[in-house]
Amino acid sequence: MSLRHAMLGLLTAGPASGYDLLKVFEISLNHVWPATQSQVYAELNRLAGAGLVKAAAEGPRGRKEYAITETGIAELRHWLTEVEPQRTHRFEALLRVFFLSELEPEQARTYLERQATAAEEDHAGLLELRESVSQGDDPLSLYGNIALEWGLRFTAMQREWADWAAERVASLNGLPAHPTAAAPPGGSPPSGAPPADPQADAPPAGRPA
Amino acid sequence: MSLRHAMLGLLTAGPASGYDLLKVFEISLNHVWPATQSQVYAELNRLAGAGLVKAAAEGPRGRKEYAITETGIAELRHWLTEVEPQRTHRFEALLRVFFLSELEPEQARTYLERQATAAEEDHAGLLELRESVSQGDDPLSLYGNIALEWGLRFTAMQREWADWAAERVASLNGLPAHPTAAAPPGGSPPSGAPPADPQADAPPAGRPA
DNA sequence: ATCTTACCTTCCTATGTTGACATGTCGCTA
DNA sequence: TAGCGACATGTCAACATAGGAAGGTAAGAT
């Protein structure tokens, strides 16, 4: 039940309405723990029923603000410290890789290259995000920055892996080499984007001691 | 509906029963796309109803083998090439990071250190897996290797990030430095484990061009 | 000969998740 | 002042996921 705790966590920053929380989910939590409107409102009512949050104020258009209670904070802390995080994840993009042998090698390479592009776009988006919040008057909190850093490293890793994999598929199938990533339509090379892997044959992951 | 396609994908390797598929999910697909028994059997029936697989044989103990049909293969290819992979993921371990400010810095560091340990264990498990399959008579298929490489890079990244984050939390809160990872109980340093980040202040992710 | 351990499927309940639909309010502006 | 867009909540049906109970069969070990 992570949704519940995500909402409790958001409410520690101050009272908010379902609508407010929804915005946060859409904007900043979307790639970490997506939630829909129906989930948020329903969970808010359950949370209130369980005494973990309480209605704090009523606003203009039927707006209802909720605040986290002491019980709610205790529950959040308990979750953070005592409950084991779930270890299994679902990676649809990776699942597909297992079955890429059903396609022609060139199609497989196309798929991997698309993954690389997508990862690079995500990476660029996060870099922008970092800039925009750094310029605000108060710097992102420590933990916000740590989470952002995770995103940067993850997207960089994805990009490098997909590039490596695409090249491997190509070279093992005698496909013509691609012109080392067609220059982006913008013109000058974007700085801050993770560079492609230098060599394609030696995976750098399981490093020697 | 990725479960459906995962099952189709597995059936391209040859006919199998629900039980067989279940084993594959438990053993090799568990960290990519977990599935339960109730899901697998139910989906198999739906798949058969939709003509994407067909009952191929009846075995000893009520065992029913299914084989993928032409329609099924076409559907799998369609999914691989035409359907956009889902871009949003749920990372519970990362979600928690957003709310770590609710804890004492030392507790937050403990959490991050546990993440680092878990990532290292996962990494070690994958290295073992790679050894065990490399020693088998036929090498893992190209795409199996590519997926495995993803896992190795992912766990290495997680480990490095968590180490970095734990140190950052400590240093920004004046916590005593830990003795650079207590020596593992085994004795000699394990080779193959990803090394800790050299310096703790300069995140290497958003590399300059 | 019996016992245990896999093998193998079906059914059930509870919970989580999605997407759509329904409903209404307030503030701005053409 | 009419209309539009943002604000704001609620409900519903369908599907996905988790976990377990129940039931039975075959093979191998003691």
Do A111 and A103 contact (CB within 8 A), yes or no? yes
Mean pLDDT computed over B32-55:
96
**B80 vs A: CB within 8 A:** yes
Residue A57 pairs with which residues in a beta bridge? A65
**B172 vs A: CB within 8 A:** yes
Tell which residue, B185, B127, B184, B177, has the closest CA to residue B156. Answer: B127
Task: Pick the residue of A81, A84, A143, A159 with the most B CBs within 10 A to test the interface with B by mutation.
Answer: A143
- Which residue is it, tokens 């992951």? A205
Mean pLDDT computed over B40-68:
94
Q: How confident is the model at residue B132 (pLDDT cuts 50, 70, 90)?
A: confident
Nearest nucleotide (C1') to the CA of residue B2? D16
User: CA B208: distance to chain centroid?
Assistant: 30
**How far apart are the C-alpha atoms of A71 and A49, rounded to whole Å?**
12
Do B150 and B122 contact (CB within 8 A), yes or no? no
Q: How far is A27 from chain B (nearest CA, A)?
A: 12
- Which residue is it, tokens 């990519």? B32
**How far apart are the C-alpha atoms of A205 and A208, rounded to whole Å?**
9
Q: List the single residue in A77, A89, A157 with the smallest CB-CB distance to B31.
A: A89
Q: List the single residue in B86, B102, B161 with the smallest CB-CB distance to A76.
A: B102
Q: How confident is the model at residue A207 (pLDDT cuts 50, 70, 90)?
A: very low
Q: How far is A9 from chain B (nearest CA, A)?
A: 6
Q: Tokens for A67, please give them.
A: 């605040």
**How far apart are the C-alpha atoms of B165 and A129, rounded to whole Å?**
19
Burial class (CB in 10 A: 0-12, 13-18, 19+), A52: buried
Tell which residue, B185, B114, B137, B12, has the closest CA to residue A87. Answer: B114
Tell which residue, B88, B55, B76, has the closest CA to residue B2. Answer: B76
CA of A4 to C1' of D11 (A): 20
Check B149 against A205: CB less than 8 A apart: yes
pLDDT of B112 > 70? The answer is: yes
Q: Tokens for A34, please give them.
A: 């997506």
pLDDT of A135 > 80? The answer is: no
Rg (CA), chain B: 22
Tell which residue, A167, A84, A76, A155, has the closest CA to residue A121. Answer: A155
**How far apart are the C-alpha atoms of B34 and A186, rounded to whole Å?**
41
Do B175 and B106 contact (CB within 8 A), yes or no? yes
Give, in words, the CATH class of A2-82. mainly alpha
B:9-68 residues touching chain A, CB 8 A cutoff: 9, 12, 29-34
Domain spans of chain B? 2-82, 92-172
Q: Residues whose CB falls within 7 A of nucleic chain D?
A: A 17-20, 37-38, 41-42, 44-45, 59-65, 88, 90; B 1-4, 34-39, 42, 60-62
Residue B98: how many other CB atoms lie within 10 Å: 20
CA of A37 to C1' of C18 (A): 10
Each residue's pLDDT tens digit, A39-88: 999 999 999 999 999 998 988 889 999 999 999 999 999 999 999 999 88
Pure H helices in chain A: 2-11, 18-27, 37-49, 70-82, 92-98, 105-135, 142-172
**How far apart are the C-alpha atoms of A145 and B100, rounded to whole Å?**
12
pLDDT of B203 > 70? The answer is: no
Mean pLDDT computed over A150-155:
98
Q: Tokens for B150, please give them.
A: 């993803």
**How far apart are the C-alpha atoms of B153 and B122, rounded to whole Å?**
11
Tell me if residue B151 falls in helix, strand or coil. Answer: helix
CA of A36 to C1' of D1 (A): 36
Q: How far is B59 from chain A (nearest CA, A)?
A: 27
Q: What is the DSSP letter of A174?
A: T
- Which residue is it, tokens 């970490």? A32
Q: How confident is the model at residue B133 (pLDDT cuts 50, 70, 90)?
A: confident
- Which residue is it, tokens 């399959």? B133
User: CA A188: distance to chain centroid?
Assistant: 28
Tell me if residue A67 falls in helix, strand or coil. Answer: strand
**How far apart are the C-alpha atoms of A153 and A159, rounded to whole Å?**
10
pLDDT score for A139: 60
Check A101 against B31: CB less than 8 A apart: no
**How far apart are the C-alpha atoms of B43 and B37, rounded to whole Å?**
10
Q: How confident is the model at residue B196 (pLDDT cuts 50, 70, 90)?
A: very low
User: CA A8: distance to chain centroid?
Assistant: 20
pLDDT of B60 > 60? The answer is: yes
pLDDT score for A177: 80
B:118-157 residues touching chain A, CB 8 A cutoff: 118, 123, 127, 130, 141-144, 146-147, 149-150, 152-154, 156-157
Q: How far is A62 from chain B (nearest CA, A)?
A: 29
A contacts of B85 (beta carbons < 8 Å): 92-93, 96, 115
B contacts of A33 (beta carbons < 8 Å): 90-92, 95
**How far apart are the C-alpha atoms of A19 and B101, rounded to whole Å?**
24
**How far apart are the C-alpha atoms of B35 and B22, rounded to whole Å?**
8
Do A92 and B85 contact (CB within 8 A), yes or no? yes
Tell me if residue B16 falls in helix, strand or coil. Answer: strand
Residue A68 pairs with which residues in a beta bridge? A53
Q: Please measure the distance between the N-terminal and C-terminal CA atoms of chain A and give it in whole angstroms.
A: 39
Which nucleotides of strand D lie within 7 A of protein CB? 6-13, 15-21, 23-27
